[in-house]
Amino acid sequence: MRALIKPMMQPHRLFLLAMGIAIVAWAILTLDWSWLPTYLDNGLLLKGLWTTTYMLVLSWAMGLFLAIWLGLAQAAGPWYVALPAKGFCSVIRGTPLLLQLWFLYYGLGSLFPQFPWIRESWAWAYLREAWPYGLFALTMSFAGYEGEVMRGALLGVPKGQLEAARAYGMPRLTILRRIWLPQAIRRVLPTLGGETVLQLKSTPLIATITVLDLYQVSLQIRQDTFIIYEPLLLLAVLYMFYTGLIVLAFRFIERQVPAKLG
Amino acid sequence: MNWLFGLFEPGHALGLLALSPPGWGGALLTGLSHTLEIAIGSYILGTVIGVGGAFGKLYGGPIVKDLLAIYTTAIRAIPELIEILLLYYLVPDIVNRFLLSLGRPRIDLPPILVGTLVLGFVLGAYMTEVLRGAILAVPHGQVEAARAYGMTPLQVAHRVTLPQMLAYALPGMANLWLNLTKDTALLAVIGFNELTETSLQAGGTTKAFMLFFTAAGILYLIISALSGRLFALAERRARRGQPSIRGGGI
Amino acid sequence: MKLKTLIIAGIAALGLVGTAQAKVIKVGVASEPYPPFSTMDASGHWQGWEIDLMHAICKDQKLDCKITTVAWDGIIPALTSGQIDMIMSSMSITKKREKVIAFSNKYYETPAAVAAPKGAKFKATPASMKGLTIGVEVGSTNQAYAKKFFSKTATLKTYQTQDQANQDLAAGRIDATIADEMALEGFLKTKQGEACCELVGALPYDNETLGSGIGAGFRKSDTALREKFNKGIADVRANGEYQKITKKYFTFDIYGSK
C-alpha cells in the first residue's frame, strides 16, 4: 500500500488526482445513469460479463494449445507440415478478425440451404447457435497469433541445450517435454500477458454475429434508452478493469516462474 | 489469358467480381481505396502524435509525463471497437457544440475524416510506446559524441538520433501498420463503406457471401504481403552499417 | 498554450470549409439492402422506393441531398451528434423516439408481420409460436413489439440489420422473423427469399411499440428543415409524383389511411 501511496504524494500528482476525482464526480452526477439498476436487476449485464469471460478463457486455452502445435510444426516439422502451418498463421494475421467472423457465420450460413441434410445431423444444434462460431473464430485467431510467437520462442531456445539432451540419449519426445517446450514457454510468458489483453479486446467483435456478450448488452441498452455515451463509458471502464486484472495476474504468474534463462 | 478474363464476365463463376456493374469488383476496389486512405491518413497522424508523445514522455515536465501515461494506458486497455464508437460520435458532437456556442453553424465532418482522426488518435498511443523505446535504444555515448563535436541539438537529432532510432523503431512501426490496416475494418461496425463493409453489402445484395468475403480477405492479404516487403526493405536501408541485432547473445 | 491555439485554428478552418458547403443535407440511410425501399447497386448508387421519394422531395424543395450510409443501430446517435442531418431509413414514428429526435409527417405505413421457412406449421400468434427462436433487428419497432408480446414464450435473437436476420432465416438458424410486412415482401420476392421462406401473416397493430407510420427523422433543433420536408411530402402527394414512384415498386398505395 505504501508503495502505491508514496509516488502519489507529489504536488502535480495530487492535482491530477483531484482533477480525476472531479471528472468522475461530474460523470456520476451529471450523466444519465438511471438505466443502470434495471439492467443490473434483470441480469443482462452480468450475463454479458459472463459470456465475455468464458469466451476469453476458452478461446485462450484452446488457442494456446493449438499454438504450441503450430509453432512446433513451423520450427521443427517437415516442409509439408511447416508450410500449411505458416500459411494458416499468415492468413489469420493478415486479415481482419471481423471479416473472419462474418466469413464463418454468414458465409457458411449462406451454404446451408444447399445441403438440407446438415439440419438433420447432430451438429445442427451447434451450427444454428452463434456462440460456437464466435468461439471458433476467437480460438483460431489466438492460435494464429500465438503460433507465430511460439515459433520464435522455440527457435530461440539455445541449440546447445537440445544437443546436450540428445547426447544424453533422451528420446525426442522427452527432449520436447522436458527441455524444449518449458524453455520456450518461459520465453513466451512476458509477452503472453499483453497478448491476452489483445484477445480480450477482440471479444466484443462477436457481438456482430448476435452473441450476447458485454458489448452487445451495451448496444441493447443504447437501443432501449437512446443514451449514447453512458453505456459505452461503463463498458470502457469495465474493460479497463478487466485488463488491469489480467495484467496483475500475469505479473503474479511471472514472479512464480524463475526468470533466469538457459 | 482469355479464359481467365472470361471467368470474370457476367454469367460465369466469378462474374460477380467483374469490375464494372453488375459485377461488384469495382465497388470492392473503391472499398479498398477507402481502407487505404484511412489507414495512410491515420498512420501519418498517429506517427505525429507518437513522435510528440515519445519526446514528451522522455523529456516533458511531470504533468505532461503523467497525462501521456494516462493516455497510452487507457487507450491500450480499452477495446478499439469501443474507442472508435465513442469517439466517432463524440468528436463531431464536441466540434459542433463548440461551433454552436460560438454562434457559428454546424459543420460537415465527412465520415472518412472522423474515421481517420479516431484511428490516428488510437494509433498515437501505441506509436508513442514504440518510438519511446526506439529513442531509448540509441546509445547515449553517440549523442554525447555528437555534442562534443559541437553539433546543435537539431543537428544531433537530424544526423544521429533520428536515423538510428528509425532502425530500432521500424519493426514495431511495421507491426502497427499491419494492425492498423486490419483495424480499419472496425469502421464497418459504424457503417462506413471500407473494404469489409463493402464485401458485406455485396454479399447481402447478391447472397454470395463466401465469394465476397474471400475476395476481401485476399485483398487484405495482398496489402499485408506488399507492405511487409516494403517495411523489410526500409528496415534494411535504415540498418545500413549497423551490426545485426539478431544472432547476438543467444 | 500553443496546442490550444492550434486546435482552435484547426476547428475554425474546418468551420470555414463547412460553411462553404453547409447547404448539403446529409441523408442517413442504413447500410444494408432493404428491398424494395433502399438497396445499393454494384456501382455504389442507392435506389429503391424510399430513395426515389427522397430525391423527389428534395427536388421539390430545392434541397441538395446527399446519401450517407450509417449503421442502423447507430443511426440516431449519428443524427444527434451531427454526422448526418436527417434519417430516411424506414423508421417508424414512435413516442419513445420522439423524446430524442423529431419526425416529419408519415410518408408510408406498414404493419408488422411474421415470415418463416416454407411449410412452417404455426400462425402469427404468441401462443402458436411458443418455444421458437425469432430473429428481430436491434432497435427496430419490431424488436420492441416482439419483446412486448413474444419474449415470454419464445427466444428472441437480435441482429444488427434486418438483412442479417433474413440471411439466418434462409440458413435455418431462426424459426421466424418479425419485421415490417412490406420489407418482408420485398425480401420474399428476391431469389433467395422465394426459395426458402414465406409470409406467415400480419400481426395485430400496437400503437405503443409500432408507432404511427414511417417518417423522416430530424434533430429537434432543425425545425426549418423539417417544415420544408413536410411541405415536400404534401407536394409530391398532391402532384402525383408519389403515386408515380409507388407504381414502380408496388401494386397499391402504401401511404395508408389519411
| Regions of chain A short of the pLDDT cut 50 | 262
Per-residue pLDDT tens for C77-110? 999 988 899 999 999 999 999 999 999 999 999 9
Q: Which residues share a beta bridge with C68? A: C28
- Topology (CATH) of C23-109+213-249: D-Maltodextrin-Binding Protein; domain 2 (3.40.190)
Q: How far apart are CA B234 and CA B242, in angstroms?
A: 14
Alpha carbon of B214 to those of A155, B38, B183, B223: distances in Å? 32, 22, 18, 14
Alpha-carbon span B91 to B155, nearest angstrom? 38
Q: What is the pLDDT of residue C12?
A: 56
Residues of C with CB under 8 A from a CB of B: 11, 14-15, 17-19, 21-22, 24, 26, 30-33, 39-44, 68-72, 74, 77-78, 80-83, 161, 163-164, 167, 190-192
Return the pLDDT at B8: 59
pLDDT at res. B21: 76
Q: What is the DSSP letter of B7?
A: T
Residues of A in contact with C100 (CB under 8 A): 226
CB distance A155 to A227 below 8 Å: no
Residue B212's pLDDT is 94
Q: Name the residue facing B89 among A95, A205, A228 (closest C-beta).
A: A228
pTM confidence score: 0.89
Between B23 and C175, name the one with better pLDDT: C175
Closest residue in C to A112 (Cα) is C171
Residue closest to B107 by CA, chosen among C75, C61, C78, C24: C24
Instruction: From first to last of the 250 residues of chain B, give the pLDDT tens digit.
Output: 555 555 555 555 677 888 877 789 999 999 999 999 999 999 999 999 999 999 899 888 888 999 999 999 999 999 999 999 999 888 888 888 888 888 888 777 888 999 999 999 999 999 999 999 998 988 888 888 998 999 988 888 888 888 888 888 999 999 999 999 999 999 999 888 899 999 999 998 888 899 999 999 999 999 999 999 999 999 888 887 766 544 333 3
- pLDDT recorded at residue A91: 95
Residue B243: the pLDDT is 60
Reference A89, options A105, A66, A65; nearest CA is: A66
Interval C180-208 mean pLDDT:
92
CATH code 1.10.3720.10 for A38-256: yes
Q: How many CB pairs under 8 A join B and C?
A: 102
Burial (CB < 10 A; 0-12, 13-18, 19+), residue A91, is middle
Band of pLDDT at residue C220, cut at 50, 70 and 90 = very high
CA B206-B210-B211 angle, 5° bins: 70
User: Quick one: residue C250, left, alpha or beta (phi over 0 = left, psi -120 to 50 = alpha)?
Assistant: beta
Q: What is the DSSP letter of C129?
A: T
Half-sphere exposure of residue C217: CA atoms within 13 angstroms, side-chain side: 27
Residue of chain B minimizing CA distance to C45:
B27
Residues of B in contact with C14 (CB under 8 A): 95, 107, 109
Q: ∠ CA(B198), CA(B202), CA(B208), 5° rounding? A: 135
φ, ψ at C197 (rounded to 5°) = -135, 170
The predicted-structure confidence for B217-233, as pLDDT tens digits, reads as follows: 999 999 999 999 999 99
Q: Rounded CA gap, C74 and B62, in Å?
A: 40
B217–A208 CB contact, under 8 Å: no
What is the predicted pLDDT for the residue at C11?
Answer: 57
Map grid coordinates 527457435 to a residue. Answer: A155
* CATH code for the structural domain at C112-210: 3.40.190.10
Predicted local distance difference test score (pLDDT) of residue B246: 47
Task: Please report the pLDDT score of residue C8 as a whole number.
Answer: 59
Amino acid at A79: W
Contact C171/A110, CB-based, under 8 Å? yes
Between CA C10 and CA C18 the distance in angstroms is: 12
Report the C-alpha gap between B234 and B167 in whole angstroms: 9
The domain limits of chain A are 38-256
Q: Which residues of B touch C29 (CB under 8 A)?
A: none
Q: How many CB atoms lie within 10 A of CB A5?
A: 8
pLDDT band at C10 (very low <50, low <70, confident <90, very high): low
pLDDT of residue C21: 46
DSSP A103: I
DSSP E strands in A60-130: the ranges are none
pLDDT of C160 > 70? The answer is yes
Angle at B4 between CA B2 and CA B9, to 5 degrees: 90
Give the β-pairing of C86-92 and C214-218.
antiparallel
Q: Which residues pair with C24 in a beta bridge?
A: C64
H/E stretch holding A189: helix A181-202
The DSSP string of B51-78 is HHHHHHHHHS-HHHHHHHHHHHHHHHHS
Q: List chains touching B (3+ CB pairs under 8 A).
A: A, C
How many whole angstroms separate alpha carbon B165 and alpha carbon B133? 9
Q: How many angstroms separate the CA atoms of B56 and B49, rounded?
A: 10
**Which residues of C fall below an 8 Å CB-CB distance to A?**
73, 76-77, 80-81, 96-97, 99-100, 133, 138-139, 143, 157-160, 164, 167-168, 170-173, 195-196
Q: B interface toward A at CB cutoff 8 Å?
A: 62-63, 66-67, 74, 76-83, 85-86, 89-90, 178, 182-186, 188-189, 196, 199-200, 203, 207-210, 213-214, 216-217, 220-221, 224-225, 250
The answer to whether B185 contacts A158, with C-beta atoms less than 8 Å apart, is: no
CA dist C114 → B239, C38, C155, C156, C178 (Å): 65, 21, 15, 13, 5
* Cα B164 from Cα B184, distance rounded (Å): 30
Pinpoint the residues of chain C covered by CATH 3.40.190.10: 23-109+213-249, 112-210
pLDDT of residue A49: 95
CA distance C89 to C91: 5
Residues B106, B99: contact at Cβ < 8 Å? Answer: yes
The grid coordinates of residue A155 equal 527457435
For residue A110, list chain C residues with Cβ-Cβ distance below 8 A: 167, 170-171
Question: Which partners does chain A have (≥3 C-beta pairs < 8 Å)?
Answer: B, C
Minimum distance, in Å, between the CA of residue C120 and any CA atom of chain B: 23
pLDDT value at C233 more than 50:
yes
Of B76, B83, B213, the CB nearest to A99: B213
Q: Where do the domains of chain B lie, and which CATH numbers do they carry? A: 22-238 (1.10.3720.10)
Q: Cα A14 to chain center, whole Å?
A: 35
Contact between C256 and C109 (Cβ < 8 Å) = yes
Write out pLDDT tens, residues C100-153. 999 999 999 999 999 999 989 999 999 999 999 999 999 999 999 999 999 999
**Looking at residue B97, what is its pLDDT?**
86
Q: What residues have CB less than 8 Å from A32, skipping those under 6 apart?
A: A227, A230
